[in-house]
Amino acid sequence: MSLQGRITAGYRTDLMLVLLGTWFSIGLFLDAWAHANVPELETFFTPWHAVFYSGFAATAAWISWVVWRNVQRGHSWRDAVPAGYGPAVLALPLFALSGVGDYLWHTFLGIERGLDILYSPTHLGLITSMIIILNTPLRTAWVKLGDRPSPREFLPAALSLAFTTSLVLLFAGFADATVWTSADVVRAFSFPKGNETLFTLTLAASVAVTNIVLIVPLLVIARRFRPPLGLATLVYTVCMLLSTAIAGYANISTAIGFVLAGVVADVLLWWLKPSGDAPGRLRLFAALSSFATWAIYFAVAGITAGGMPSVTEMWTGAPVLAALHGLLLAALLVPTRAR
């Protein structure tokens, strides 16, 4: 007899998926590090690709087994896919096809080494399908959890959010402020007034883009849930662990500053309790958290490099501009209190 009705995945199912996703994600960042730091990289068959694609194979096998197990229990094929898992089931073949395309691309067109890594069509197919797969525990939590999940209940979703944020930041690498060293931050904002360089403009753009990538996930979660304490620190820490690997561990002081900023964001989440029903507090959180993140960023750069950038307007104005961007995003996400 066939059972009817859509099911939801259990806690252990989601936790196993996110643990396998950790393997999967580490493989991607190892591969990205190799593209950026290994000059003799000339073949598709590398140890880093082995970690990456074996992580995908394990993740795909787990999702397939979850669906097959539910079919064996009497559910129809449609109902055997747990709520939130449907996009991942569709993304698995997309990833596999992109992987085959990546092999052919590397074989016939060569290995990407710079900005072209982020624009390669096969890489974009891989990262898009990977984000959809890794986001599965967050979709599950969205469906089945209440408004105030415990840290344990929310752990798979939090890790899912942290890894997907890291992947988005990775593919915004041309404007990623987390990989900058303190010395380069000070040098970029030290220039004769009226003669700013491309280096200056790159850091200014990177601050704006990185701020958006980091603050939007927290705002979306705060709109739906009362975030468990530690969420922001976890997201920032995972992003920094992976960004330091990409930067060859030259940006350790910057990474420490972001982890500290995550702690401050968590304190603000606990204190302000932003939510979709309290748009004023959501906007205040967005502005204060963004301001604190970049104030810490420039303070750490100045302390580590032995002096602040020479153009005071740049390092004092950048956190304020980031706060305004955060405020605007919060206003767009929740225009008014729900009636």
pLDDT digits (tens, 9 = 90+) for 27-56: 887 877 776 666 665 566 777 778 888 999
Specify the pLDDT at position 269.
Answer: 97
Task: Collect all residues with Cβ–Cβ distance below 8 Å to 125 and sequence separation of at least 6.
Answer: 94, 95, 97, 98, 101
Quick: pLDDT tens for 271-282: 999 998 999 999
The β-bridge partners of 3 are 75
3-state secondary structure of 33: helix
Token pair in block for residue 123? 């890489």
Burial group, residue 235, by CB count within 10 angstroms (0-12, 13-18, 19+): buried
Q: What pLDDT sits at residue 193? A: 82
Q: What is the mean pLDDT of the chain?
A: 90
First to last CA, the chain: 44
Of 216, 230, 191, 226, give the one whose Cα is nearest residue 311. 191
Percent over 90 (pLDDT), the chain: 68
For position 283, what pLDDT does the model report? 96
Half-sphere exposure of 225 (CA within 13 A, CB side): 24
Query: Taking the CA of residue 339 as centre, how many other CA atoms within 13 Å lie in the half-sphere pointing to its CB?
Result: 1
Choose the most confident range, by mean pLDDT, from 123-127, 227-231, 283-287: 283-287
Q: With H, G, I as helix, E, B as strand and everything else as coil, classify residue 75.
A: strand
Residue 325 predicted with pLDDT over 90: yes
- So what's the pLDDT on residue 339? 55
| pLDDT number for residue 5 | 67
pLDDT at 44: 67
pTM for the full predicted model: 0.89
Element (H, E) at 314: helix 312-333
Mean pLDDT for the stretch of residues 119-134: 92
Q: Percent of the chain, pLDDT > 70?
A: 94
pLDDT band at 152 (very low <50, low <70, confident <90, very high): very high
B/e letters for 92-113, b = 16+ CB within 10 Å, e = fewer, are bebbbebbebbeebbeeeebbe
What pLDDT sits at residue 327? Answer: 97
Among 97, 123, 116, 113, which Cα is nearest to 34's? 113
| Single-letter amino acid, residue 19 | L
Q: What is the pLDDT of residue 102?
A: 86
- Whether pLDDT at 209 is above 70: yes
Q: How confident is the model at residue 241 (pLDDT cuts 50, 70, 90)?
A: confident
- 3-class DSSP state for residue 188? helix
Residue 235 has pLDDT above 80, yes or no: yes
What length does the chain have? 339
Of 131, 27, 125, 141, the C-alpha closest to 87 is 131
**One-letter amino acid of 118:** L
